[in-house]
Chain A
Amino acid sequence: MKVAFWPGCVSKGACPELYVSTHKVAEALGIELHELTEAPCTGAGVLSEQNPALADSLNGLTLAMAEKLGADLMTICSTCQGVLSNHNYQLTHKPERMERANAVLSEQGYTYKGTTKVKHLLWILVEDIGLDKIRSLVKRKLTGLKIAPFYGCYILRPEEYLGLREKPERKNYLEQIISIIGGEPVEYHGKSKCCGFPMVTMNRDKALMMGGNHIMEAKSKGADLLVTPCPLCHLNLDAQQPDAARVMKQTIDVPIFHLPQLLGLAFGFSPEELRLDHHVVPTTKALEKVELKV
């Protein structure tokens, strides 16, 4: 299938391993990525809260670019998904906002008609590719690995913008994928809670504790690793983990995988190809459990 691909800033910035592993997995699955290289940042919700008209226009531009391409818009970041879903909902439900945005876009040679569907890779995997196809591509079952899903906020809330009222099963896709590749999903309360990222500049220690608590809860339930569909969650849970451990005066030491890295492992790619050797928290122990080394 062909998709308009919005990689988000973080996969092209501090999380290059996400960008690389997405390409590997997409190729294996036959997802044709048409990257929207000229699309702007979604504003991560920050612009939406300060200036809705501006955020409508910037996100309307991205939506219009996908529409022109005639393909679904694929994201690989819970935050991008949330912001684009939110503005797509506003634009298609509130004619005055659509009109206002199009008045701005028309000067740039674009008009948004409102037909684009925004879908996170996670949703595409289950809804468009299908679990059977994924199962058929598994070359290396991750048997014995206990994997804790970590969704992040904006792929779950607010439900009406994300289509979760019509498709409540979207709240369980990570577990479904973990099972199909042979892992054991870990059930824990923190899986749908916030990692603390939006608060990290405002109240650093508390934000670090927020993420740290969720990892520790998963660890106490036996998790070997966490998997997340959001690179911002990844930054807060992986890159900041040593700091969180310091603030909480505890050893944490649980690796955090991006969704396509986990899938890529099951598809037989090497840890290096998926850049699992470029994490702050070493992935070694988890990989050894499935007899892999970095």
Chain B
Amino acid sequence: MHVKMVVGRYAPDRKLDGELGAPYPPPYADKPRKTYQTFEIDLHDEAMVLDGLIHIREHVDESLVVRCSCRCAICGSCAMWINGHAKLACTTKMKDVIENGAVRVEAPPSMMPVRDLVWDMGPFMEKMRSVKPWLEGKPVSPDEEYRVPNEAMDELVQEVSCISCGACLMDCESYAVNDKFLGPHALARAYRYANDPRDSMQQERLKEYSDPNGVWDCTHCYECVHVCPKGVAPLEQILKIRQMSVAAGYTNNAGTRHALAFAESVRDSGRLNELTLMPKSLGLFNIKAQLQSLPSAFNLLRAGKLPPIIHHKIPGVTRVKAIFKKVGGPLT
């Protein structure tokens, strides 16, 4: 197989030939731009993207820096952007990603560049540490091992497959605009400990994870589910924390108010009431936030787009009410 590998290179101390890339977005806007170099190489048909990079390093340009170790999706070293999406280079088949004879690889713009394909894992690890990924509190029975029922572990094993590769964080939409967001990997791990029967700090955890930059700052975009090479589905773990924290009464935040106002609207009219959703989500007494949301309402009004002032119920609303009554739980 003949392939053109377009490699994004980053080496501020060297002059590189090639095509200059776009400027880094914040917070790395002060970093020099990447240079894209094209390597034409021949590989066997089943080669992985990482095989291509190692081939370049061994046979074409030994200065290319790439991070890898296990080459079988265990160590989590080789996550990078392949054609603009996060993937492990060691398990991505070249032939699956070639577009018009070429494949583009680079470190993602959301991570601090170190050199060529290597990006700084520091912030990623820092987020992981900040959710206290260990069992907290005093052991429940100090004299013997703690026996955990199998069923209690069923829910947690999905997260345990995480290899800390960083793919989810590098494509996370919320992280792209807010580097304080705890992020998919850390929150998935947070769930793993918050729901472990041996942990005695569940309440504190739930409170902390529902604070700003926690579970409610996730925009629900499914990118992390899509790119995770190990099936961890971080968003699904985040949603479980949201459920747990609402049930535990940590409801004084816009995320929960939004969820409850939405549910109320559907229960009472069968559909979404756009007029009351925003004010209720922001909190009726949160005057500052209410004022901030006003310009959009004016924009809608001016364009003749404001939702009908009298919110109509759908004709089938009695059916909807009955369903809520039956399975709506606390929302009935």
Contact = CB atoms under 8 A, between A and B. Distances in A.
- Are both chains from one complex? yes
Interface of A: 9-10, 12-17, 37-41, 43-47, 49-51, 53-54, 57-58, 61, 104, 107-108, 153-154, 157-159, 189, 193-194, 196-199, 201-204, 206-207, 209-210, 213, 239-240, 242-243, 246, 278-280
A202 B271 contact: no
Contacts of B326: 57, 104, 107
Interface string B301-332: 01111111000001110011011101111010
Contact of B272 (A13, A38, A58, A204): A13
Contact of B270 (A40, A54, A158): A40
Given A37-B314, A38-B314, A239-B296, 7 more contacts: A39-B314, A43-B262, A51-B331, A108-B319, A153-B223, A198-B221, A207-B219
Instruction: Determine the interface band of chain B, counting residues with CB < 8 A from chain A.
Output: 35 or more
B271 A9 contact: yes
Nearest to A51: B329
Contact of A158 (B176, B226, B271, B328): B226
Contacts of A37: 314-316
B43 interface: no
B137 interface: no
A51 B328 contact: yes
B243 A202 contact: no
Interface stretch (B4-12, B116-124, B160-168, B274-282): B274-282
Contact of A278 (B177, B212, B304, B331): B304
A50 B263 contact: yes
Contact of A54 (B265, B295, B324): B324
A153 B316 contact: no
Contact of B254 (A17, A202, A239): A202
B323 to A, nearest CB: 5
Nearest to A53: B327
Contact of A213 (B177, B278, B300): B177
Given A16-B305, A239-B296, A107 B322 contact: yes
Q: Lowest 4 CB-CB distances: which A-B pairs, in order?
A: A38-B316, A157-B222, A194-B221, A201-B281
B300 A54 contact: no
A80 to B, nearest CB: 11
Residue of A13, A198, A202 most packed against chain B (CB within 10 A)? A202
B226 A49 contact: no
Contacts of A243: 295-296, 299
A239 B300 contact: yes
Interface string B285-304: 00001001101100110111
B27 interface: no
Given A13-B308, A40-B270, A210-B173, A61 B319 contact: yes
A107 B274 CA distance: 30
A242 B219 contact: no
B221 A44 contact: no
A204 B293 contact: yes
